[in-house]
Structure 1
Amino acid sequence: MGPLTSPRTGEWVRAEDPSAVGAVRRKAVLLAEEAGFDPVLIGQTAVAVSEAVSNLVKHAVDGTVMVRPHPEAPATVELITVDRGPGMADVARALRDGYSTSGTLGIGLGAISRISSGYDVHSLPGKGTVLAMHFTAGHTPAPALRASGLTRPIGEEQVCADGFAFLRTDSATTVLVCDGLGHGHIAAQATYRAVELFMSSSDQEPLDIVRRLHAGLAGTRGGAVAVARVESARVLYAGLGNISGWVTHAEGRQGMVSVPGIAGQQVGRLRQYTYELPSYATVVMHSDGLTDRWDPTTMPGLFSRLPAVIAAGLMREAGSRRDDACVVTVRPAKKATSNPGEATARPDDGDR
């Protein structure tokens, strides 16, 4: 699986006027053509995307939308919409045939769900709605949706210096989050380099990868980095700098430890920690473009949704417009029966 980093994935579009509908539809059609969709599916994708974005333009508050290649399946097109209101009290009703928000194309959320290869939605009255849907040639399902990530640049910048990448096997998903020091193209070069090094580190543990990143980022601005290997029942985690890592579920969260320093510039004693991972939990990693004061209990139902919806919901609730932002969400590699409980951590031998 190839890397997915912020400047290469797609841009957030503000759904403030009808021109946004056409802009996002054209991008979706281009991606569908590149992915080899047949003409019928290209047309269906265009209709579904237009409906979703029209809803934002006409009825949402602070609506934004992104269309991009799916991070776990490059031949799949993914659309994510986020808004701050008015929200839906009854999502199940909105998915029924014949129900449509007034003033849009009229096909309704239920029809969108059938056109897409997969979708998920989270909505709370007064807080807003997050919708994620994807389209795959032949309507075949995308791979198991274990991980997702989103970035957003500071202010009106076009390039985000925060980025992420995944490496996935049947038994684990390994994730990198990097926050290049500063903003803009020069800061982003550190993140590009970190991704390149990470993608050639598939057989290494997080601690060894972070060490390699520290050495490889010399000569760049450097940055904060963290790497997690998410398995079926545990997380191996190593971080350097101000990347936040959490084992999260609906009842709360447990922080994961990063050591102070800047990859490529200064570092103390690097450590790797092992955290127990309940099957119902989600691993969350984010840069300091998201405040770490978010609370899962104030977002009921969010952490039962797909990783893309969780990531978008966290970006909305905790993201800052005054800094580049990156958030990644990862589910365990496979399900197992477990009772709710606090995650625990133990340090591994960091100086192997």
Structure 2
Amino acid sequence: MGALSGAGPAGGPPVGDAVWMRVEEVSAAAGARRRATVLAERLGFGGERLGQIQLAATEMATNLIKHARQGEMMARIARNGGSAELELLSIDRGPGMADVRGSRVDGRSTSGTLGIGLGAIDRLADRIGLHSLPGHGTVMFARFHQPGGVIAPEPPYCGLTRAIDGETECGDAYVARVEDGVVYAMLCDGLGHGPLAARASREAVEAVERMVLPARPVEILRHVHRRLSSTRGGAVAVAAVDPAARKVRFAGLGNVAAWIVGSGRRQGMISVPGIAGAQARTFREHVYDLPAGAAVVLHSDGLTDRWDPGLQPDPSGHDPLLVAAALMRDAGVRHDDRCVVAVAPRDGR
């Protein structure tokens, strides 16, 4: 396992930097194109490159409309330290694909249509990721580097947030940092939802962003607990993932789920009851083995814990965004704010 390079804090996008949309009717393709254009222009894309992003967004939406069921897309500005990218993500519960590699070649289709969509996206994007299972569905992303910006190495973590229907702010948030080869990830589920829950989660994120590392997860959790005392509080989980030592240190308070996932299996990590910022009788830290190729996944209770690890992308061979997106699709069935963060260090990262 190669050493992980340092990286600045990265977390969920602020309001306005991400948009989720249902893609189930023909008219949705135009909406996806418009929303991707707005975000791309904010990053300085223009001319031919902007047109390529518009084409990729249209093709991604069209694929969902033609081939999928319950198709959704997300467009967002993803920032990592001094670098920024536009990300397009699609998820569905459609028929899936048996030949993922072949599906990315122009002219290949499983439905009798002209199979140019995935091939076009593959050519246009700076990076693409795809995971699909027959009968279960597909998750796919395309990334476009900000023009003139710094192209940083892909971080070994990624997260997704989604507000409950009817709210513009998500009450869940996450942040991840890499220090001395260790990935520190924190997820906060603000109590309730809406602006007050979002304020609590932002306080938790800022506390971890400003904290001096290295530190034990239990110390980070205590620090977050103190910072949340002026808010309504929330459930908090903190993991320190050390791929060189093959260990995970974890401390959690409240109803946030934490898992070690790999090879079609999962192992839960233990949180103690309480509410960060309000009720915390005790803080405990546990140490777990990290098998080769495994990922650490944290998610709020907006996702059910009844998901099958055998149907999830293998973290040793897939981008953390695919790991997070597939879980959001399969487990994010509750009417609540949702957040999931996946830490998936791989060799050389």
Indicate the larger mover: 115-124 or 154-163: 154-163
Secondary structure, counterpart of 2:28 in structure 1: helix
Aligned partners of 1:103 and 1:97: how far apart in 2? 13
1:170–1:144 CA distance, 2 compared to 1 (3 A): farther
Secondary structure, counterpart of 1:217 in structure 2: helix
| 2:5 alignment counterpart | none
Indicate the larger mover: 55-64 or 151-160: 151-160
Aligned partners of 1:273 and 1:320: how far apart in 2? 29
Aligned partners of 1:314 and 1:296: how far apart in 2? 9
| 2:177 alignment counterpart | 167
- CA RMSD, 1 decimal: 2.5
Aligned partners of 1:40 and 1:22: how far apart in 2? 19
Secondary structure, counterpart of 2:327 in structure 1: helix
- TM-score (norm: length of structure 1): 0.87
Structure 2 counterpart of 1:67, from 58, 66, 75? 75
- TM-score (norm: length of structure 2): 0.88
| 1:349 alignment counterpart | none
- Which residue identity lines up with residue 273 of structure 2 in the other structure? P
Aligned partners of 1:220 and 1:105: how far apart in 2? 54
- Which residue identity lines up with residue 83 of structure 1 in the other structure? D
Q: How far does the alpha carbon of each residue in 1:54-99 deviate from its partner, in whole angstroms, 9 at most, with x for none?
A: 1112332111110111253652111110001021122122111323
1:76–1:20 CA distance, 2 compared to 1 (3 A): same
**1:296-315 to 2 correspondence within 5 Å?**
296-299=309-312, 301=314, 304-315=317-328
Secondary structure, counterpart of 2:238 in structure 1: strand
1:133 to 2:142 alignment: yes
| 2:11 alignment counterpart | 4
Aligned partners of 1:34 and 1:259: how far apart in 2? 42
CA contact (8 A) 2:233 2:275 kept: yes
CA contact (8 A) 2:262 2:315 kept: no
- Which residue identity lines up with residue 4 of structure 1 in the other structure? G
1:105–1:67 CA distance, 2 compared to 1 (3 A): farther
Q: Percent identity?
A: 46
Aligned partners of 1:165 and 1:128: how far apart in 2? 28
TM-aligned CA deviation for residue 15 of structure 1 = 0.6
1:197 to 2:207 alignment: yes
Indicate the larger mover: 311-320 or 31-40: 31-40
1:158 to 2:171 alignment: no
> How many aligned positions are there?
336
| 1:291 alignment counterpart | 304
1:99 to 2:112 alignment: no
Secondary structure, counterpart of 1:305 in structure 2: coil
1:236–1:260 CA distance, 2 compared to 1 (3 A): same
1:45–1:245 CA distance, 2 compared to 1 (3 A): same
| 2:130 alignment counterpart | 121
1:32–1:169 CA distance, 2 compared to 1 (3 A): farther
1:249–1:172 CA distance, 2 compared to 1 (3 A): same
Structure 2 counterpart of 1:206, from 190, 199, 217? 217
Secondary structure, counterpart of 1:32 in structure 2: helix
Aligned partners of 2:64 and 2:144: how far apart in 1? 20
Aligned partners of 2:212 and 2:38: how far apart in 1? 32
CA contact (8 A) 2:312 2:323 kept: no
| 1:51 alignment counterpart | 59
Aligned partners of 2:226 and 2:72: how far apart in 1? 38
| 1:242 alignment counterpart | 255
Q: Which runs of 5+ in 1 are unaligned?
A: 337-352
Aligned partners of 2:268 and 2:58: how far apart in 1? 40
Structure 2 counterpart of 1:77, from 70, 86, 90? 86
TM-aligned CA deviation for residue 50 of structure 1 = 1.0
TM-aligned CA deviation for residue 304 of structure 1 = 3.4
TM-aligned CA deviation for residue 120 of structure 1 = 1.0
